[in-house]
Structure formats: C-alpha cells, structure tokens
Amino acid sequence: MLQTTLILVGALAGIWVVKTVIEWRRVVQSIQDYPGLRYVFGLESFLIRSRIPFISAGNFGAWTYKHQDFVDHDSDIISSVRVWRRPAVTYLIADAEALKEITNARHRFPKPLHQYKVLTFYGSNIVVTEADEWKRHRKITAPSFSERNNRLVWDETISIVQELCQVVWKGQNEIAIDNIVDLTVPMALYVIGVAGFGRRMSWVEDMSIPAGHSMFFRDALHTVSNDLWIKVIIPSLILKYAPIPRVRKFYTAYNELERYMFEMIEARRNAEKREERYDLFSSLLDANSSESEGALTDSELMGNIFVFLIAGHETTAHTLAYTFIMLALYQNEQDILYQHIKSVLPDGRIPSYEEMGKLYYSMAVFQETLRMFPPVNGIPKYSEEDTTLMTRSMTGEPRAVPCPKGTALLIHTPGLHYNPRYWEDPYAFKPARFLGDWPRDAFLPFSGGARACLGRRFSETEGVAILTYIIAHFQIVVKEEPQFAGETFDQRKERLLKSRAALTLFPVKAPLVFKRR
C-alpha cells in the first residue's frame, strides 16, 4: 500500500514538473527569450530575502544589486521569469525614456490593483483605483495638497523641531541617539498629525486619554504605521484573539485609529461654525462636502487619509534618517550645507516658508538622499496591450523589448537611480548634482506621470524645514562605540546603512550624536 502511494505521489509530482517546464518554456518564448533573471522564486516573492543561484532572485535583490543586474544582462530593461506558483515574466525597467512612456500612458500601462490590497483596510482610496474611479478620488483629494497646506507643513514642522531642540534637549550640548529612526519617526509622526489630521502633538505634553478610547491618537497612529505588516499576514479573525502582545496592541491601535478618524469626520460634519483649516483631513472633508456628484463615502474618506498617513509618515521619516546618516559620514558635505544655511540666515533667525526656495542646498541634500535610498524599490505596472518597449544596451545600441498583453512591469527605482547613463558616479553622495540641470525623468522616488504621489511637495517641505533647522543648530557625527573602534570608513558606512524594507526602505540601526553648535 505504501509503495503504491509513493508511486502515485511520484507520478503526480512528475506530471506537475513536466507541466511547469512546458509552461515556463511557453512564457520564455512569448518574450523571445529576452535576457534577464531565471529563478524558481522571482523578485516579487516574499519567501526568500537573499539571492540564491537558480533558486531565488531575492525579494531584496532590487536594492542589493541596484543597476548591476542590468549591466550583467547588457540592457536597461531585463526580464525576470519565475517558476513558483505559476511561470510568469516581469520586466524590470531602469530606462528613463521607457519609464516616461509607461508613467504618462496610464491607460496602456495601469496599476495591478490586486497588489495594493494592503492599502484598502480602512476603505478604497486614490492609490488603489484606476480609470473613472481614480478620477473621482483625485478630483476630491488633489486640492488638499495646496499652497496653504504646504505653508502649514513648514510652520508646524519648524515648531515641532524647535520644541525638540530648545525644550526636550535644553541644557544638553551632546545628544546621543542609539538609532536615528527613533528620532525621525516621531518627528514625522507629529508633523503628519497636525498638517495631515489637524491634531497638534507635543514632545512633552502629558494628556489624559479621551473618553471612549484606550489609546492616545499619536500612539494609535504610530503603532498602525509601524506594524501594518501584521494586518497583511494575519487574518482578521485570528488577529482579534491572537495571544501575542505586539499583535494584540496592533489590533487595538487599528480599531482606535478607525474610531478617531470617524469621530473627526462627524465632528467636522456637525460643527455649527466651520473653522478655516488647511490640514489634509479638513481640506478633504470640505472638498467632499461641496461635491454634489461622486462624493466619497466615509469609508473612502478614511481610506484616503490613511494612505496620506502611510505615504507622508514613513517616506519622510526614513529619508531623513538616511540624510542624517550620510551627513554624519560625509562631514565635508555637512559643512557645505551648514555654510549655505548661514549664508541665507546669517543672523541665525528661524527661516520662513517664503525662504524655502533660497535653501536650495537643503533641497539638494534631501533629493540626493531620495536618489540613493528610494523609499520604494519597485513600483508595479502591467501592459494592457501587446506592445514593444525600446531600450539600449550598455554601449547605447537600441534594443526592442517584446511586451505581450498582461506582462508585469516593474519600475526598478534603484536600477534607475544608480544608472550611470543618467547619473555620473552614481554610488557617490553628491548633493551638488541637483543644482542646475539634472535628469528629472531618471528621478522617480515619488513615481511619475499622472499617478505620481500627490504628497511630494508635502514631503519635500517637511524634509527641508527639518534639515535646515537641525543643521543650523547641530553638527551630526557618528556615535563612537568601543566595539567598532578599529573599523574602516567603508566598514562604518556599510554598518550604518544596513537596510531592510517593510512598506518602505529603512536603516536597521544607526547610532548618531547631535552636537550643539
């Protein structure tokens, strides 16, 4: 009996292998065996992080290898064909011209919406919709990102950083931060709290939890944004009764945040007198209430503000963390930035929003960090029709890329941002490259085209304000630790920049010291 069972299992396995090989060959032939990666598990697999020959391309491979895979296969568009689940092809794209075509032609190259389900927990939103539904969401959400909101972002950011430096750090000439994200995450959280939700939060405030709640708003916001992955991998029914403390805390925070958002909607809707407020949430509600047709439901309102939270919080927090690390490593660049800030603000006064344009080196440092550490390493699209993409080999020879209908496409942000065709010495930290002319089509930290991130200016305004204020008042250095006393500069750099990715790329652990000037 056992022998018969083993024979049957072996026969079924053999049939599956033959069927899979035939399907894999069909997929490879459909793209005319276009050069690229061939692995059992592709880049999109969540199972294996590192690259293993023939087995896994590694889900962290886009960041690890940057532009090298394109060099190895002599093309700025390469294919990635996987076997697991079912054989399928994805084109990895680091060609600026091809990406401009893809991002501008959203009807030909739409989003694979099923990959964005993680962002629909509180409701449908602008990120997870396409076509007419996307237009409906955009009509109401886009006006929230106004010049008045940008000014609010600047003023509130300066206020938050000023309180940190003058109140929390008062009397301290050196402040050691064991992990820089422990500073940048709450900083960005407080900014999104007031400029996104209209709820001012303080570094020192000691309040009581509002009636009907079991958590502060800021704690719910922080927990949900940090641990959203829990909701992705654990079904709701299990989540509710999970015995693990961290999971239980997330479940509580998730429901608390939903309750807070619903209360804000109701309070704004039922207010006898409307205050003139320019935070994203208030602007969104005002735009929605004035819409006679196509207004968003309460669920959709919460879905959109939740997306604003995730995009505005994590992206800026982690980019600032990398910015501080790079300035600590490259003291010459930090000094250039400091001298520039002093030239704009010679009397040491607080910069105004109107002076943001003069602080062009702060912006250049922030942009160079976004280039080197793009928050999202892969932005998915797919081809809605049979078409051909054009690219070039490393020597500039044109190459035609067959792209059948339904083919998955990936905007390979590290490959693009480290492509020497567009960026001279791409692995070097050179903020000055963003002064004057620079290749805008080869810079996509916020994606591009009509579907580009609405919050780009929000993030840039916050980043420049924080960077300018901090560098004007503090020198940032790497924390000296006895166990790393003998390391070389390259070893130190590798240690501080060791990264992982959740929703966005982030440094694992970087201890820095802020020395008051």
Predicted pLDDT of residue 325: 98
Contact between residue 496 and residue 507 where contact means Cβ atoms under 8 Å apart: yes
pLDDT of residue 275: 63
pLDDT at 276: 67
For residue 122, pLDDT over 80 is answered with: yes
pLDDT above 80 for 45? no
Which range in 309-323, 417-431, 488-502 is most confidently predicted, on average pLDDT? 417-431
pLDDT on residue 94: 98
First to last CA, the chain: 81
Q: Is there a contact between 306 and 122 (Cβ–Cβ < 8 Å)?
A: yes
Quickly tell me which residue has 């503090």 as its tokens.
474
> Cβ–Cβ contacts within 10 Å for residue 289, how many?
12
Choice between 283 and 397, residue whose per-residue pLDDT is larger: 397
34 phi/psi in degrees, rounded to 5: -60, 135
Under a CB-based contact definition with an 8 Å cutoff, are residues 40 and 55 in contact?
yes
User: Band of the pLDDT at 165, cuts 50, 70, 90?
Assistant: very high
Which domains occur in the chain, in start order?
Answer: 32-198+277-516 (1.10.630.10)
Q: What is the pLDDT of residues 303-326, one digit of tens each?
A: 998 888 777 778 899 999 999 999
CA 230 distance to own-chain centroid: 18
Its pTM stands at: 0.93
Amino acid at residue number 234: I
Reported as a pLDDT band with limits 50, 70 and 90, residue 225 is confident
Task: For the chain, give the mean pLDDT.
Answer: 91
**For 375, phi and psi rounded to 5 degrees?**
-55, -40
What is the average per-residue pLDDT within 116-136? 88
**Minimal CA–CA distance to 377: which of 427, 413, 419, 410?**
413
Give the torsion through C-alpha atoms of 377, 383, 388, 390, to 10 deg.
-20
Q: Contacts by 232-239 with C-beta closer than 8 Å and gap 24+? A: 232/118
pLDDT digits (tens, 9 = 90+) for 441-474: 999 999 999 888 888 999 999 999 999 999 999 9
Please indicate if the annotation marks 453 as binding a ligand.
yes
What tokens appear for 254 in the block? Answer: 């998730």
What does DSSP say about strands 408-412 and 505-507: parallel, antiparallel, or unpaired? unpaired
Q: What is the pLDDT of residues 226-256, one digit of tens each?
A: 788 788 788 878 888 888 999 999 999 999 9
Q: Choose among 423, 443, 426: nearest CA to 375.
A: 443
